[in-house]
Structure 1
Amino acid sequence: MASQWNVYESFQALLQAGPYHLAFEGVLILCIIWLFTAKKKPSKLIRLTKKEEEELIAEWMPEPLVPNPPDEDHPALNTRTVYGKVGRYIDLGKGEKVLNLGTHSYLNLGDRPEVEESALECLHQYGVGSCGPRGFYGTTQVHLELEDRIAAFFNCEMSVLYSYGFSTIASAIPAYSKNGDIIFADEMVNFPIQRGLQASRSRIVYFRHNDVEHLEELLKQQVELDKRDPKKANATRKFMVVESIYMNTGMICPLPDLVKLRKKYKLRLFIDESISFGTLGENCRGITDYFNIPMDEVDMIMGTLEATAASTGGFCVGTKFVIDHQRLSGLGYCFSASLPPMLAASVIKVIDILETEGPALVQELHDKCRQLHVALSTLPDKVNVSGDDISPVKHLRLTESTGNRCQDEVLLQRIVDKAEDLGVAITLAAYLWDKEANPPPPSIRITANKDLTKEEISKTFKVLEKSINEVLTKPESKYEVLTKPESKNEVFGKPESTKLD
């Protein structure tokens, strides 16, 4: 009875429908019938015989995933292999071990037995990897404990943990700054920051390196632009991004002056503490601790665990309101497998050491940094040293450039190779010249660690002095012609930026 009533209602609704509606339904029904009954036309694709297919496959030459180097002396073809564990001395397969002044374990905490034991203990409990992103099934109790410990160490409300140092900074910036915003950044910020600036699609304004006066000039110019369009100005957020110790120069940022400008011009301040974490401040907390600036003057601190912490991954700390936002918008957090639990456990042990022995370790490191800085400053006048005296990162650059960036790199690489043969491992600072926003001059990057002895510093000076004199006094060195063309400074997809004077 019910089915008859439904059929009756459907028939009545069909009678009440207009003629156009009925015609449209009829056309649809005819199209469906045609689709099922129409004969399919034979394919017009060319059918190859088996022999022709095999000939085409044999002739096909795939393009290389990585382009071939332009010359036989390219660094990619002359890599150095480290045999065994990386420590104060490393084995490069040349017989005796050489002094390592090229890595960023400033406090050598990776060599501490208690750090290794904590990692092994966690390995037996959780295995090697967590096998998934943090938001799915990649979070363990060790990750949560480490985030709490980092937040407490910096006296902040919350921290967030990433599995890769580069992606930490490159993800944190675009999580907040978007298209239409403005970011004021030091021209010497490192490459991960530059990738984060580019990913934000904001307008990037670079100011001269550590030049507070130039920054204020640019801020005043922005104030005048805001007055012309108040509606747009109210919707535009302004950020300032700096490094505590710059990887590209070894210089410490003038944070007190930057904080004053932040208050005056209402900027959001982000600081990369990758180098200063564990190396600056009475409590090893970095640049804010060093200048005794309250944490609420900084909106967010970013950093890597791949330097002082002797592990891998990165972190961001700040208020709960700011940091919690990254758990849904930080791409490196959302889509990357989480940090292996055993490495998180080793960082927890590192924080234990910094909380108990930190002040003494930092003081010892600063003494060695000063001694190394004095030694490098007395090298032949053909090179000059860049970096603050207490910075663990130093740069050696040619006093007089050849006028060709590639030629400068060749000369510096020869110094590096000669020093390695004499027992000191240093490294040529590597840059992607065609993607750097403001490429620094070529340099040799030298890193200090707290366990350097006076004898090792003296040896470093003698080795560098001999290497520099042998390489830079050759008559042919200055006039050698290279077949490798100099790279152009072109940034693919580079965001809009203000040209420096």
Structure 2
Amino acid sequence: MKMVTGSKMDKQIEDADYLTVTLDFITAPSYHLIIEALLVIWIIKLLFSKAYVQETVLTEKEKEELIRDWQPEPLAPDIPDDHPFLKSMENSIVTGKPDKYMVINGKSCLNLATLNFLGMAGHPDVEAESIKTLKKYGVGSCGPRGFYGTMVLEDNELMAFFIFEDVHLELEDKLAKFMDCEEAILYSYGFATIASAIPAYSKRTDIIFCDECVAFSIQKGLVASRSQIRWFKHNDMEDLERLLKKQEEDDRKVELKWKYKVRIFLEESFSFGVLGASGKGVTEHFNIPPGEIDLIAASLENAIGSTGGFCAGKKYVIDHQRLSGLGYCFSASLPPMLATAAEQALSIIENNHNILEDLRENCKKVHDKLSKINGMMVLGESISPIKHFRLADIGEDRDLDMKTLQKIVDENGVALTLARYLENEEHLLPVPSIRISVNCQLTDKEIDDSMKTISRACDTVLHRRY
């Protein structure tokens, strides 16, 4: 038996490969050869052709013709001159800061329009801390938290040891401790907080049981989650149980949670800093351990007087948002000075619970006086700082009711505003109303005088209407 070794074997293999390729080329169909040849020519042409097209040079006459024929689209849609919103805007030119008193058309008015429940917007201590941070770090953070939007605040006393303190992480830590939760996450926009948190956890195959009167930000979060939504009647636990397979009646939310193995998300933008002995919100008000709630979300734009929002809860719940909360991952982080403002406002609340009691007392007084005005009705709980003040008799013409309420607002010597909604997108469009915001700084005389002013305006406008 002969054995082929070394170079002789290699030579035979090469000859065999060459013979195979030659036979394949000879036996290949002619159309294959034509296509391959065209492809080779096309590739060579692409390699040697110019990578750009010669720019067309226009004459001055051609340029003028193009400019003359060009019709730009309007930046905003045309609005008729008689639009009621424009009329109300003409009558309400606001100058200066939205403090306890604000200047409208050159006249000082008591401010019952701004959501500044505890007077933190304009508070001298909050402003002073914000200005210090502004001078050191500027206005914006310039990026999302996960990239380069987390700002470092130097501690002069610890600089020798190269220790730094982060303004965003410091606020998150303070919020978590304030809410008695394991961890908190900070968002730069209040609306985006709950709207991002919901789709971070709930997907297309999940089911969400939701109050039919939730805020618009929650509605947008529900849409983004693409989950199945089951609406229950506003604040109606019995109707919620009906949706949870009609089992035995139980009004306690926590028991419902463990019985049906659902997760509870609580949105507290208007109860955080308002309810509870120390302002922790609904859980403190009803004496429910925060650990029984999976996620608590709230805005920093109402009682705190800053910007942004936060979510608080167990560590694994919050950590998930740092990778899945769209408003956290893809939005520029909260400006450092506003994080400082929120932290300072929290410190003021912690050291002065009297302002919370003053707010609740003022809310009750305003609610009581509004409820006695003829032809009108006030909605909501008496301890709520937001009062929706509407017509007792709702007409079939929504626009007419809006115009009537706007006249009451315009004829007032008090700063008020209509409640505004995206009417075509609301799940359940609320009835037209005047939104009245109560704050802890109001004196008894200011409450009495403002309620008398509102009452006179209502009598005048309603007398004309009927």
Task: Name the CA distance, whole Å, in 1 between partners of 2:446 and 2:101.
Answer: 11
Structure 2's unaligned 5+ residue stretches are 1-9, 152-165
Secondary structure (helix, strand or coil) at the match of 2:121 reads helix
Moved more, 207-216 or 16-25: 16-25
| 2:282 aligns with one of 261, 277, 287 | 287
| Aligned residue in 2 for 1:389 | 382
Distance, in Å, in 1 between the alignment partners of 2:15 and 2:186 is 65
Equivalent-residue separation in structure 1 for 2:26 and 2:380 (angstroms): 80
Task: Please give the per-residue CA displacement for 1:307-362, whole angstroms capped at 9, x wherever unaligned.
Answer: 1111101100001100111111111111111100011011111111121112x221
Deviation of residue 66 (structure 1)?
A: 2.7
Instruction: Compute the displacement of 1:65 (Å).
Output: 3.2
1:57 equivalent in alignment to 2:51: no
Are the counterparts in 2 of residues 256 and 291 from structure 1 also a CA contact under 8 Å?
no
Indicate yes or no: 2:458 matched with 1:450. Answer: no
Q: Deviations over 1:101-146 (max 9, x none)?
A: 0111101022322211111111122111111111100002100100
Q: Deviations over 1:274-321 (max 9, x none)?
A: 111111101210000111101111110011110111110110000110
Q: Tell me, in whole angstroms, the C-alpha distance in 1 between the residues paired with 2:42 and 2:407.
A: 77
Moved more, 188-197 or 262-271: 262-271
Describe the superposition over 1:1-32 as per-residue Cα deviations: whole angstroms up to 9, x where unpaired.
Answer: xxxxx999988766556938996799546403
Give the whole-Å Cα distance in 2 for the aligned partners of 1:16 and 1:159.
70
Give yes or no for the alignment of 1:105 onto 2:116.
yes
- Is the CA contact 1:256–1:293 (under 8 Å) kept in the aligned structure 2? no
Where does residue 241 of structure 1 map in the other structure? none
SS at match of 2:334: coil
8 Å CA contact 2:88, 2:410 repeated in 1? no
Distance 1:52 1:202, change over 3 A: same
Is 1:337 aligned to residue 332 of structure 2? yes
Q: Distance in 2 between matches of 1:76 and 1:22?
A: 82
* 2:238–2:251 contact (8 Å) kept in structure 1: no
Please tell me whether the aligned partners of residues 426 and 444 of structure 1 are also in contact (alpha carbons under 8 angstroms): yes
Among 179, 193, 199, which residue is 1:174 paired with? 199
- Given the alignment, which residue of 208, 214, 222 partners 1:197? 222
How far, CA to CA, are the matches of 2:462 and 2:12 in structure 1?
101
Letter in 2 for 1:467: A
> Superposition pairs for residues 312-351 of structure 1, below 5 Å?
312-351=307-346
Following TM superposition, by how much is the alpha carbon of 1:56 offset from its aligned partner in structure 2, in angstroms? 4.4
Contact 2:204 2:227 in 1 (8 A): yes
Cα distance, 1:387–1:59 mapped onto 2, change above 3 Å: same
Change (3 A) 1:12 1:468: farther
Q: Which amino acid aligns with 1:209?
A: H
Change (3 A) 1:340 1:10: farther
Paired residues in the alignment total: 429
> TM-score if structure 1 supplies the norm length?
0.79
Equivalent residue, structure 2, for 1:138 = 149
Matches within 5 A, 1:230-241: none
Which residue does 2:7 correspond to in 1? Answer: none
Corresponding residue for 1:398? 391
| Matched position secondary structure for 1:451 | coil
The one-letter amino acid of 2:235's match is: N
The percent identity for this pair of structures is: 48
1:31 to 39, 42, 61: 39
Q: Could you tell me which of 305, 313, 320 is aligned with 2:300?
A: 305
CA distance in 1, matches of 2:139, 2:110: 31
> Secondary structure of the residue that 2:243 maps to in structure 1?
helix
Q: TM-score, normalised by structure 2?
A: 0.85
Partner of 2:423: 433
Partners of 1:21 and 1:304 in 2: CA distance: 77
Q: What letter matches 2:101 in structure 1?
A: Y
- Post-superposition offset of 1:259: 2.6
Question: Structure 1 pair 278/54, CA: closer, same or farther in 2 (3 Å)?
Answer: same
Task: Indicate the SS of the match to 1:173.
Answer: helix
Once residues 437 and 11 of structure 1 are traced to their aligned partners in structure 2, the CA distance between those partners, rounded to angstroms, is 79
Q: What corresponds to 1:218 in structure 2?
A: 243
| Unpaired stretches in structure 1, ≥5 consecutive residues | 1-5, 224-254, 479-501
Determine the structure 1 residue equivalent to 2:96.
Answer: 84
* Counterparts in 2 of 1:430 and 1:26: CA distance versus 1, 3 Å: same
Q: Give 1:376's match in structure 2, choosing from 370, 378, 381.
A: 370
Question: Per the alignment, do residues 37 and 352 of structure 1 end up closer, same or farther by CA in structure 2, a change over 3 Å counting?
Answer: closer
- The residue that corresponds to 1:252 in the other structure is none
CA deviation map 1:39-58 (0-9, x unaligned): 99xx9xx9997645643432
Measured in 2, the distance between the counterparts of 1:22 and 1:449 equals 92
- Pairwise CA RMSD: 2.9
Partner AA of 1:438 in structure 2: L
Partner of 1:19: 24
Between the aligned partners of 1:425 and 1:124, the Cα distance in structure 2 is 33
User: Residue 383 of structure 2: SS of its match in structure 1?
Assistant: coil
Give 2:105's aligned residue: 93
Structure whose alpha-carbon radius of gyration is higher: 2
Summarize the Cα distance change of 1:460–1:12 in structure 2 as closer, same or farther, 3 Å threshold.
Answer: farther
Distance 1:50 1:13, change over 3 A: farther
Instruction: Determine the C-alpha separation between the residues in 2 that align with 1:464 and 1:55.
Output: 60
Q: Secondary structure at the match of 1:446?
A: strand
Q: 1:37/1:324 Cα in 2 relative to 1: closer, same or farther (>3 Å)?
A: closer
Residues in 2 aligned to 1:21 and 1:460: alpha-carbon distance in whole angstroms: 101
- Which of 265, 269, 277 is the aligned partner of 2:272? 277
Distance 1:261 1:317 in 2: 21
Q: Distance in 2 between matches of 1:13 and 1:189?
A: 75
What are the equivalent positions in structure 2 for 1:254-273 lying under 5 Å apart?
Answer: 257-273=252-268
Change (3 A) 1:137 1:26: farther
